[in-house]
A and B are shown apart, each in its own frame.
Chain A
């Protein structure tokens, strides 16, 4: 699998670096090629001059045959043992006029240059010394009639090229790497700068949450290329916000539509004289009230993401819940108590939802214990809310399922719809909290809601 580089900045930088590298290689290569061409033509020009020079020293002897008469200085130059420069001359009849080295004489005899245009050639491991030569062969007119010549020189022209290149590298080419580095630095900086509005937008995006869905990403200063994305994200947020609003309104309306008739039924039943049937009906309506409340709570939790970002005090929540449920406990001949931390226990969350969860746990505990027992709410200073009862406890087999919607234990009485603990679980999840079920000794269950510390 090919790994793709995700960072736009890194990608641009790498590609720019590659571009600069190729460009500078091309530039340097071009310069070197140009320099070597120049050096080559200089060498060819020198060979040409030698040819003319040699020809100018050819004259006819008394027998009317071409003869080479070199000035002593020049003769010495051609005759050195080093064989730096070699030549061979043929007359128009193919006879050798003179050759500074027999090998070249043999060569010109085999293939005499027949063209007046110079033809250049290379010789390797040539002559008695086995040196490399570059040379030229051509036919041209002289005072002694048409002649064919070959002149070759040890390939020392390379030295010229090398010296030119050395000069070029030292005088000119050194500034290419720093220039490339500087250009790269500038490019990186400008890429960084043009991406800054995107980083600002990202920072803004992290603030968007269920409680702050009206925040939009800033569209000003965003690069044109990224603007469509930012705009599209903002439009998507618009639609989400709209959806949220509709859902909220629906839940509120459903609550209203269900609750008003229930209130009327409750009140009507209250005014009927109580025989057995009526009190049974009252109990049913009370159950239905409770069920509607729980269904609304579930609907609310499903449709609206809880805002769990407010600072809350678990001790205060526990105090309110225990206080508000005390009459319920007393009415069912049970007692309720608050223990644990006496100081505020601060976490971040949603006070209303946590109170809902705790209320459900307490209701559950009250429903599953015998009269004359005590339900204890305990506040742990590390952000733990616990509900302890003295009931039969929760069987190990049931523990994974008690938080499922509409799940009810085997021995459960018919009051509950099995939504209470599901609601607790939703709220726990929304807070990133955890819930643990354990046994108490000698009997009873203990449920711990462990919240993340603020």
Chain B
């Protein structure tokens, strides 16, 4: 009897503590607030543009085979399965398609320990090359994508067998802490991001220069022309076309007009490249359809870029979760404690030659497009362009309410954990994040969480 009573009493005693703590409301339910074309694209303004969006979406949803260009190394077989949450074009879905990719069509890949069916879609990088004994060498920076799978064993892989090609040493990388991850970035509204002038970004940076939160930041820049780059976790890519071309080549192994060769592993490329037996197709595998017409002429890379460019930004909820008062209050608190110093709520796009919805529009992206030091807790020891091992682009927050996985490596599904990860030695976000945890009341914190999940 006593045994039964004690847990109940404990539960009753703990209940007030549990009930007053703020909680992440979780993935916002209801209809997907994203995945549709921009209003002017949906209205086919200018004439014909809707066909380009539809053709882009078709290409984006396509599942590749080896004769179509897949491999010889790849992370997944299509754009769509990974960019799927809450709709096509989004981020990692609840069920990881990479588990099925490993053995699809007879492939004989070993699934690395960090790829699980309920975990995030992941791309892996080794910060450092291994020496011949298997020790990561800090004097040999790598940082390139170590593609998860090969086509060996697939029914369409021809002469490319496991005797010719192997997966990277993922178990060794895990054992030596020499692997980091990136998850897919959502692509909604990226046409607006692409169309924000550098002058607007610089003016926003100047407006935030006198903040009292210890935030500084700077822009990553294109090595060729010196202009501001803005796509990718470290803002390393200049345009959607470059972003698409690289992803097609790196994630699916499809050579294309922007990245013409089949992609070896970073170390393989320092030695003898990909084995001839696995370079099965003439290159580039993706190109224009010279016999086609209209949107069908475009190569896939151009089609992907159009799809992302013409995708509407996510639509936030004004009432869910927590009701409009809580959401509005949360937004005000988000600004007050300085989250908006980096997560700039709105930047205006420039006049667009593509379609009216991209012209002089408010991009409510919640990012300044700058790179910031995020400290030892989030560091990945990968340098890209001017961004060092702990510098990341401010992640846009639009659409966050319906995202499942957070941070560059998808390490958490919990928004509170994600905010807490902003705190570590060397992070520019410490003060704002400290104010969230140390200066706001529980109810105020809940308002901020509700606001974020409304986006």
A-B interaction = no
B residues in contact (CB < 8 Å) with A: none
